[in-house]
Amino acid sequence: MRSFPLIIVVAGLLFWLAPASAWAQRLQCHPCAYDFGKVQVDHSKSYSIELTNTGDRMLRITSESEKGSGFSFGAFPVPAWIKPGESLKLPVIFTPTADRDARGTLTLASNDPRSPLEILVSGIGVADSNPQLGVSPATLSFGNVTVGSSASLQATLTASNAAVTITSDGSSSSEFAILDLKLPATLPAGKSVVVTIQFTPNASGTADGKAGFISNAEGSPTVEQLTGVGVAKTSHNVSLTWEPGDDDAVGYNVFRGTAKTGPFEQINTALDSSTNYTDYTVVAGDTYYYVATEVDAKGDESAYSNVAQAVIP
């Protein structure tokens, strides 16, 4: 059925009302105004507004724009299409940059005859003036450390929002020590200091502890988690054996050096009548080279044997 214009005569005045098309695109928002409330300065808060096509034709959003400090669109690429009766989510973000009230307008242009659609937004930027002291990494893991030895790792303390004054520090375990942090220490906002923590296990097994830093920061003390494993010392030795050169030998001498070509120093304190020797004086991580000589009844000593190498774990 075709629609017809309606003509109304009132007190001699002629009015011509053209009927609205039943098939027009209609872009509706819900809500069309949103208040983000209080948001910390330089932090963000998001909200999604529902956009619905209440008409009977495909709606096409062609562009988007925003007015007002701190307000922006989230991921919403344009052009965007909405089928009749369907909806899309429009993400909106508020990131205040100052401690004050903020108001803005988000505008969407489309093929809706009433375009553009305006959405009102507001919020309050709130400055957080409470000093904060963070530590990175949150946990220091020293791994395996030989009992009686030490290993050191570093952590970074960073002040934020306001200046932080560190007045004291301490460790929950005698196996962990905080080094080289001169106190009191004041860190301006945004500045950092590196601290060294040392792990010296006094027994084998897993050791856990905490390093704490007392300051004027909110939530003080700031705590660094610590963990390490004490490993018992390992005793190493080198066992040597050799074949006799001839039947005239009455004993043997053993020599050791740190290079394959020498020099070599004798390590047995007396002539060894056997054809084996154990060196108990080696050090973990070193490499040694050994030679042997034989001595006859007259006291004559042979030349060096071949060189044997020993790498100590």
Each residue's pLDDT tens digit, 10-61: 444 444 444 444 458 899 999 999 999 988 888 899 999 999 999 999 999 9
Look at domain 6-126 and name its CATH class: mainly beta
Specify whether the CB–CB gap between 250 and 295 falls below 8 A. yes
Q: Which amino acid, one-letter code, is at 140? A: L
- What phi and psi values does residue 181 have, to the nearest 5 degrees? -100, 105
Examine residue 116 and say whether the peptide bond preceding it is cis (omega within 30 degrees of 0): yes
All structural domains of the chain with their residue ranges: 6-126, 132-231, 238-311
Q: How many CB atoms lie within 10 A of CB 36?
A: 22
Q: What's the rounded Cα separation, in Å, for the pair 266 and 299?
A: 16
CATH fold of the domain at 238-311: Immunoglobulin-like (2.60.40)
**pLDDT-based confidence at 1, cuts 50/70/90?**
very low
Residue with the larger pLDDT of the pair 264 and 243: 264
Q: Which tens digits make up the pLDDT trace of 166-177?
A: 999 999 999 999
Q: Is the predicted pLDDT of residue 139 greater than 80, yes or no? A: yes
Q: How many residues does the chain have?
A: 313
User: What values do phi and psi take at 20, rounded to 5?
Assistant: -70, 145
- pLDDT classification of 4: cutoffs 50, 70, 90: very low
Q: Could you give the 3-state DSSP secondary structure of residue 251?
A: strand
Residues contacting residue 85 through CB under 8 Å, at least 6 positions apart: 52, 53, 54
Q: Average pLDDT over the chain, rounded to whole? A: 88
CB neighbour list of residue 273: distance below 8 Å, 6 or more residues apart: 250, 251, 252
pTM score over 0.75? no
Q: Which CATH architecture has domain 132-231?
A: Sandwich (2.60)
What is the SS3 assignment for 105? strand
Tokens of 181: 């942090």
Asked if domains 132-231 and 238-311 share a fold, the reply is yes
Q: Does 79 score more than 80 pLDDT?
A: yes
193-252 pLDDT per residue, tens: 999 999 999 999 999 999 999 999 989 999 999 999 998 876 788 999 988 877 788 889
The CA-based diameter of the chain, rounded to the nearest angstrom, is 153
